[in-house]
Amino acid sequence: MTDLLKFSIPGKPEYVGVVRLAASSVANRAGFDVEAIEDIKVAVAEACNNAILHGISDNCCNYEIAFTLDEKKLTIAIDDNGKGYDIGNYQEPDLANPKEGGLGIFIIRALMDEVQINSNTGKGTTITMTKYI
């Protein structure tokens, strides 16, 4: 049996904290342990950061978050309707020479079991991440 929770959140930085609480709550309900809940919370928030900072323009509009939960896993999809980008241009951060930006996706991949990013220039980006219970 699959449960689906959907949120539509204004693309403003002050609301990412709200999403973190929601993500923690859903992860808790799913039965994850404390560390996994924290991982999910951090990964979801990083995807929200991406939606706000690189997706939606000028604080306008909402982005969508969908939590899909079954006995085996929790999958979260964050979908902005923003500018999109060429995934081929993504470069892994050089951890020996840290820079101010670019850590978000790296962190998501480190904390979640599966991560998929779909983006097309002009059409927006969807980041889908899964953690197994």
Partner 1 sequence: MTLEMKSFFNSEMNQWKLEVKGEIDVFTAKNLREKIKDIYNKKQKDIILDFKQLNYIDSTGLGVIIGAYGRMKEKNNNLIIINAKQNVLKLLTITGLDKILIKTNF
Asked whether position 92 contacts partner 1 by CB under 8 A, the answer is no
Tokens, residue 104: 């978000």
Interface with partner 1 by CB under 8 A: which range of 25-33, 74-82, 103-111, 121-129?
A: 103-111
* Sole window of 61-69, 76-84, 92-100, 122-130 interacting with partner 1 (rule: CB under 8 A): 92-100
CA distances from 47 to 53, 55, 89, 106 (A): 10, 10, 18, 11
- Check binding of 98 to partner 1 (CB under 8 A): yes
Q: Is 91 a binder of partner 1 (CB under 8 A)?
A: no
The residue within the footprint of partner 1, chosen from 1, 2, 4, 14 (CB under 8 A), is 14
Please spell the DSSP secondary structure of 71-97, one letter per residue.
Answer: SSEEEEEEE--S----GGG-----TTS
Backbone angles phi, psi at 7, to 5 degrees: -125, 145
Phi and psi at 65, nearest 5°, equal -125, 130
Residues that bind partner 1 (CB under 8 A): 13-14, 16-18, 20, 38, 42, 45-46, 48-49, 52-53, 93, 95-96, 98-101, 103-104, 106-107, 110-111
